[in-house]
Amino acid sequence: MEPIAIAGNKGKGIRSDCHVTLELTSSGGVDIKLESKVKTLYGQAITAKAKEILDFFGISNCKLLIEDTGALDLVLAARMEAAIKQLINTDKCFLPEMLTQNLYATAKDQNRFSRLYLPGNSPQLMLNAGIHRPNGIILDLEDAVAYAKKEEARFLVRNALRSIDFYGAERMVRINQIPKGLDDLEYIIPYNVNLILVPKCESAAQIVAVNEKIEELKKKYHLDYPVWLMPIIESALGVMNALQIAHSANNVVAMAIGLEDYTADLGTQRTNEGTESFFARSFLVNACKSAGIQAIDSVFSDIADMEALKQNVLRSKALGFDGMGCIHPRQIQVIHENFAPNEAEIEKAKKIMNAFIEATEKGLGVVSLGTKMIDPPVVKRAQRTIELAITMGKLSKNWREEEE
């Protein structure tokens, strides 16, 4: 073990974070040095919190340097715990407050148009993520975290799940690739995570392994909330096994495709038209629909081109996808607007629902619209369209009464 441990981020462009340097000493008590741009207003609070954490881990002699750019307590605590655990062996965890408003569960079939990726080791992007109202937020432990920062990111993601309010967004974490990712689960499952993304998934066995670990943790921590899974298919093998993966467990609620890695695996280039990935996307959609789960499209990486994003969403929707990842908050609105039912779809759904309700009122067993018979799945789909339209503010809740 090294005698000095560091954790956190500093330097140009870093905000709402802190960088801690901890050295255990044999005598001399606790020596805390704080450099902070918020020292005038929070200097005492930061020092007191640091002392509390050192005390919690039983450290009575050390030198601690905190270089702070406005870190909230949950960030300071994560950085310090990450440093402390490099130096001492302990099972203790310094957990910040679990916000009561974070204790919500999500539904298997809830709307998942958009999910915003947040790098798991960057607090500055997490704090305001919820104000952009994505359907889901993803605290990413995988590709968005540098290899050397993997360990400390776990503490930050854990603390974020407890103490950051994402204003109702589905709380998701992307773990590392299996098997490494299995070790991430201990840091997130007990903290009311709603959904786990399993990256570079290639077999049903990987999903089974994730579920075994989740079950083990649920027992250990006496948890009874659902934890949903969203495998991400990112290779040719993954695509070919997508059908089995989609059917591998009851808590798999959606399956996503990651086109950057997939096209690299094929040895081709990703294009806006997406011809090279047409098979994979279409196959994935069919695999998902055969299992009654949602199909989620890859992120669109040009964050400046909203028109190209829009076209991408419309193509995606036409292929049968139910949602898409976002790497920038400005993409959320475009994704919502274009995945949402359009005017023609809403009008058609209204007609079907009216016919269905009238038929039910008359006690008719068969629903028809004009000369066409309407099957129950069509009614169900229309109902879903109406619900979505209401949620998206495109249709009044009392649309039937208002039209009469």
Partner 1 sequence: MKKYDNLVMNAVGRLVPTEVNGQLMIPFMGSGKYKPTGKMAAPPIPTTADYPLDGNKLVDSLAEALHKCGLKDGMTISTHHHMRDGDLVSNMIFDIAHEMGIKNLVWFPSASFPCNEPLIKYLEDGTINRIEGSMNGPLGRFTSRGGMKGTAVLRAHGCRHQAVQDGEVHIDIAVMAAPTADPFGNANGLYGKSACGGLGFGIADTHYADKTIVVTDNLIPFPCAPMQIEGNFVDYVVKVDSIGIREKIVSGTTQITKSPDRLRLAEMTTEFCLEAGLIRDGFSFQAGAGGTSLSIGVFIHEILKKNGWKARFAVGGANKYLDDMLYDGTLDYILDGQTFDLDAVRSMREDANHIAVSAFSSYNYHAKGNHSTMLDLVILGATEVDLNFNANVVTHSDGLLLHGIGGWQSAIQGKTTILPIPLFRDRIPVIRDEVTTLCGPGEFIDVIVTERGIAINPLRTDLMEKMKNSPLPIKTLQELKEESERICGKPEKPNFSDEIVAVIKWVDGTVIDVVRKVAP
Task: List interacting residues with partner 1 (CB under 8 A).
Answer: 15-16, 37-45, 69-73, 127-128, 131-132, 165, 328-330, 393
SS3 letters for 27-54? CCCEEEEEEECCHHHHHHHHHHHHHHHH
Residue matched to tokens 């080791």: 121
What's the CA gap between 293 and 201, in Å, rounded? Answer: 16
Return the number of the residue (165 or 358) whose C-beta is nearest partner 1.
165
Buried b (16+ CB within 10 A) or exposed e, 307-333: eebbebbebbbeeebbbbbbbbbebbe
Calculate the alpha carbon distances from 4 to 85, 230, 340 in Å: 11, 39, 53
Amino acid at the residue 39: K
Return the number of the residue (229 or 340) whose C-beta is nearest partner 1.
340
Return the number of the residue (15 or 150) whose C-beta is nearest partner 1.
15
Amino acid at the residue 177: Q
Return the number of the residue (125 or 139) whose C-beta is nearest partner 1.
125
User: Do residues 67 and 18 make contact, with C-beta atoms less than 8 angstroms apart?
Assistant: yes
Provide, rounded to whole angstroms, the least separation between the CB of residue 40 and partner 1. 4
**How far from the centroid of its chain's Cα atoms is residue 198's Cα?**
11
Return the number of the residue (330 or 372) whose C-beta is nearest partner 1.
330
Provide, rounded to whole angstroms, the least separation between the CB of residue 330 and partner 1. 5
Return the number of the residue (9 or 294) whose C-beta is nearest partner 1.
9
1 by DSSP, 3-state: which?
A: coil
Provide, rounded to whole angstroms, the least separation between the CB of residue 276 and partner 1. 30
Return the number of the residue (33 or 37) whose C-beta is nearest partner 1.
37
Provide, rounded to whole angstroms, the least separation between the CB of residue 288 and partner 1. 30
What's the CA gap between 127 and 121, in Å, rounded? Answer: 12
Q: Where are the beta strands (DSSP E) in 170-265?
A: 170-174, 195-198, 228-233, 254-257
Provide, rounded to whole angstroms, the least separation between the CB of residue 167 and partner 1. 9
Provide, rounded to whole angstroms, the least separation between the CB of residue 315 and partner 1. 25
Provide, rounded to whole angstroms, the least separation between the CB of residue 46 and partner 1. 9
Provide, rounded to whole angstroms, the least separation between the CB of residue 396 and partner 1. 13
Return the number of the residue (43 or 58) whose C-beta is nearest partner 1.
43
Q: What are phi and psi of 203, to 5 degrees?
A: -155, 155
Here the tokens at position 331 are 């993409």
Give 379's contacts (C-beta < 8 A, 6+ positions apart): 352, 353, 356, 367
Return the number of the residue (328 or 351) whose C-beta is nearest partner 1.
328
Provide, rounded to whole angstroms, the least separation between the CB of residue 331 and partner 1. 9
Q: What are phi and psi of 4, to 5 degrees?
A: -120, 135
* Composition of the chain by helix, strand, coil, percent to 5: 45, 20, 35
Provide, rounded to whole angstroms, the least separation between the CB of residue 87 and partner 1. 27
Provide, rounded to whole angstroms, the least separation between the CB of residue 393 and partner 1. 8
Give 136's contacts (C-beta < 8 A, 6+ positions apart): 112, 114, 115, 116, 169, 170, 171, 172, 194, 195
What's the CA gap between 61 and 46, in Å, rounded? Answer: 18
Vertex 259 angle, CA 253 and 263, to 5°:
140
User: Do residues 192 and 172 make contact, with C-beta atoms less than 8 angstroms apart?
Assistant: no
Return the number of the residue (79 or 200) whose C-beta is nearest partner 1.
79
Return the number of the residue (47 or 316) whose C-beta is nearest partner 1.
47
